[in-house]
Amino acid sequence: MLPIKPSWKNWRLLTDNGRQIWACKPSSDDIDAHLDNIDSCTEAEIEQFRIDFNFDKSQNPNSADQVFRHQAIAENFQPYAGEIPAAKDPQQQNIITGLVEGIHYFSALQSKDGHWPGDYGGPLFLLPGLIIASYLSASPFPRPHREMMKIYLFNHQNDDGGWGMHIEGDSTMFGTVMQYVSLRILGTDKSHPQLRKAGDWIKTHGGATGIPSWGKFYLAILNLYDWQGFNSLFPEMWLFPKWLPFHPWRYWCHSRMVYLPMAYCYGKRIQMPENDLLLSLREEIYCQDYAEIDWPEQRDVVCEKDIYTTQSPVLKVMNFITNGYEKFKSSWLRKKSLQFIIDYIGAEDAQSHYLDIGPVNQAINSICIWDACGRDSEQFRRHVARWYDYLWVAEDGMKMSGYNGSQLWDTAFTTRAILESGIAQLFTSILDNSYRFIDSQQILAEHETHSEFFRHPMIGSWPFSTAEQGWPVADCTAEGLSAALAVHHSGLARPRIDEARLKLAADVILSYQNQDGGWATYELSRAPKWLEKLNPSEIFADIMIDYSWTECTSACVQALIEFQEVFPEYKREAIAAAIRDGLKFILAQQKPDGSWYGGWAVCFTYATWFGIEALSKAKGLGYCQEHLLERGIGRGCDFLIGKQKADGGWGETFESCSKMVYTEADSSQVVNTAWALLALMIAKHPDRQAIDKGIDLLLERQTELGDWQQENISGVFNYNCMITYSNYRNIFPIWALNRYYRQFIEVDAETGVS
């Protein structure tokens, strides 16, 4: 761990029922009081931030969540003084000690409300969206925040002067122009040497006309790009009859909720008035004279560094029609569609308490509400208050999180990881707290407007972050249910989630199952596969439909199996059929080499763990033909064994996700290693030596305090953008060590073998 830097202490994480707010020198721990009265800093303090948050990206672009962890350790950590079960030999004793210290260290990071906060940064296009919203609406962040944002943006500049889509990525036009413009808005002078380098990068790569469509959108809002150079977002499509296979209610909810406010801004042609900065920027980011640019010609121009998906012929035809429509549009229809959109945004804001489904639409909705209701409106004020829920401070500065946090997800995993064996008895108060959090985050009421605005029924579900965020996720519901059942099974906490609530969770999981037997993320797949041809993003793949995924399916299958063990009679046939179809889906997803591709973390080791875990849990229970399960498990394990490195670990890079081929990292990664080990152990793989070597690697990598180093980035979305899960470096090694303890040590102790 890095030594603590003096001014890190000026930043404190305040938490309340899952809410996470970073405050600069707060006078109390009360979040609302703080937001009403955000402190500012002296010049000298700001200067100190520049020194203390200087971060060397060349060592590792992933920060290690040091600011939060130092704070938590300083407040909560005492060396472990409890019992450590005795083992039969020193090697096993090492494993037990590593496990106990691993859990003990991590428990110091648990917040009062029972959840595990953590850095959820990674993408680099999020913070600029928020900075642009604040600039346009003349609602600047306080000075300390602005300075910390600048520090972050500079810290993540690549050596070539540009920025990537995410912290590990090569420079792209999207990343570079967005950070460049943000730094200028935050007050950096264009003569700053780092900005000059960035400006050169932009110009040598063809200038900002080549920014992908999402970037064109933000620039157009800032009056740095002409709306004529933007393919129509055709707001009228919201007035189409719902039965049409391409009605936007069928889009994956993230695309739906982002293209919704984008369509409003496009329909209104929102544009900031010109000012000196903007006029100067027009000269700084383009290769040609701004006034001379042929805007319609730029609509489909995308820098080659950015292209991940290309426009399909169907999309080209559609763009031709909708762009043409702009010339003849009916103003009555436009008004009606924009009214529908703003009502929908209002409903999304209300349903999510202004957190919105994610960081992108939170910022763009703020812009729409500012336009529709005004800067002084209550609605806009509530939007601004939620900007802070998305900001995170780490040793690399202030970043925007990919969500309002990963609270429920990390807490459910941690709970399951600790409960894997009897070691859990040593950590009952931790479990009591985490169970309390899980209990408090189950969603038990429906939004009033849920059917009007295309929401899937959600009573009984769990979200990824917090219940007040209001967006349940299929596999988060499964993880919540599995964790609750594990707590009940252990008898270590008084059960508060009653039978009726557990059944509601199982019902909602059933309601999420797709026709193909799998489970998607937030909703059912609502559209035919060809809708993907309308993906206009150029930088993400598979964003139009909520597809079934191996990971989501495995989590749901596991939860239903566990549920059925406790309530065998409840919807017996329906649940058994759901499990069977889910298993078939998982088997069908397996690749010829035995692996599974992971869509939400890096990558093959992640999904292969999920695949093997579900198949192994189902073994012997009669849901599926045994030989199919065994074959699937065997092939999955062979794949993993084939990828083990000489040092006993496993390691993949983010390119496994974007290139969709296993891409080995130079060194083993504890998170990948833990996933592979979890899979081999649940499968009862006979190669004990392979497992022991992997476990040794986890122990070697463990720090003195019981933490692990932050290694490569672990999470991903839409194949091409990476996202940080800082708690994974603790959760999964703990889980793997605990599974080892249960399978190879505890059993011996129970049966008296020595």
By CB under 6 A, residue 402 contacts ligand LAN: yes
Q: Torsions phi, psi of 420, nearest 5? A: -60, -30
CB of 122 to ligand LAN, least distance (A): 9
161 or 212: whose CB is closer to ligand LAN?
212
CB count, 10 Å around CB of 687? 13
By CB under 6 A, residue 392 contacts ligand LAN: no
CB of 233 to ligand LAN, least distance (A): 15
By CB under 6 A, residue 473 contacts ligand LAN: yes
**Binding to ligand LAN (CB under 6 A): which residues in 256-275?**
258
Chain centroid to CA 214: 19
CB 114 within 8 A of CB 436: yes
Query: Residue 133 and residue 115: Cα distance in Å, rounded?
Result: 30
What residue type is 359 in one-letter code? Answer: P
Q: Which residues, at least 6 apart from 174, have a Cβ–Cβ distance to it below 8 Å?
A: 125, 165, 211, 212, 214, 215, 306, 539
Q: Using CB under 6 A, which of the segments 97-105, 440-448, 470-478, 629-637 binds ligand LAN?
A: 470-478
Q: Compute how many residues bind ligand LAN; rule: CB under 6 A.
A: 20
CB of 153 to ligand LAN, least distance (A): 18
CB count, 10 Å around CB of 559? 25
- 394 pairs with which residues across the strands? 397
Query: Residue 402 and residue 728: Cα distance in Å, rounded?
Result: 16
Site string for ligand LAN, 407-446 (x = CB under 6 A): --x-------------------------------------
Site string for ligand LAN, 102-141 (x = CB under 6 A): ----------------------------------------
Q: Using CB under 6 A, which of the segments 2-10, 200-208, 435-443, 468-476 binds ligand LAN?
A: 468-476
By CB under 6 A, residue 168 contacts ligand LAN: no
Q: Using CB under 6 A, which of the segments 25-33, 191-199, 619-627, 716-724 binds ligand LAN?
A: 716-724
CB of 57 to ligand LAN, least distance (A): 22
By CB under 6 A, residue 348 contacts ligand LAN: no
By CB under 6 A, residue 403 contacts ligand LAN: yes
Q: Which residue is nearest to ligand LAN (CB)?
A: 717
Q: Using CB under 6 A, which of the segments 26-34, 135-143, 165-173, 354-362 binds ligand LAN?
A: 354-362
Site string for ligand LAN, 203-242 (x = CB under 6 A): ----------------------------------------
Q: Is 159 a catalytic residue?
A: no
Q: Reduce the DSSP state of residue 294 to 3 states and report it.
A: coil
**Positive or negative torsion for Cα 295, 301, 303, 306:** positive
Q: For residues 97, 102, 107 and 108, what is the CA-based torsion angle, rounded to 10 degrees?
A: 100
Query: Residue 131 and residue 134: Cα distance in Å, rounded?
Result: 5
By CB under 6 A, residue 254 contacts ligand LAN: yes
- Considering the candidates 349, 371, 389, 475, report the single residue annotated as catalytic: 475
Q: Using CB under 6 A, which of the segments 17-25, 267-275, 469-477, 491-499 binds ligand LAN?
A: 469-477
By CB under 6 A, residue 723 contacts ligand LAN: yes
What residue type is 152 in one-letter code? Answer: Y
253 or 745: whose CB is closer to ligand LAN?
253
360 or 467: whose CB is closer to ligand LAN?
360
Q: Which two tokens stand for residue 709?
A: 């180093």
Query: Residue 737 and residue 545: Cα distance in Å, rounded?
Result: 37
307 or 641: whose CB is closer to ligand LAN?
307
Q: Torsions phi, psi of 23, nearest 5? A: -120, 140
CB count, 10 Å around CB of 168? 19
By CB under 6 A, residue 532 contacts ligand LAN: no
Contacts 24+ apart (CB under 8 A), 578-582: 578/509, 578/510, 578/513, 579/618, 579/623, 580/623, 580/624, 581/513, 581/517, 582/513, 582/517, 582/518, 582/519, 582/553, 582/554, 582/556, 582/557, 582/614
The angle at the Cα of 664, spanning 660 to 670, to the nearest 5 degrees, equals 110
Residue ranges in contact with ligand LAN by CB under 6 A: 254, 258, 358-360, 402-403, 409, 464, 473, 475-476, 521, 540, 551-552, 600, 717-718, 723
Residues annotated as catalytic are 475
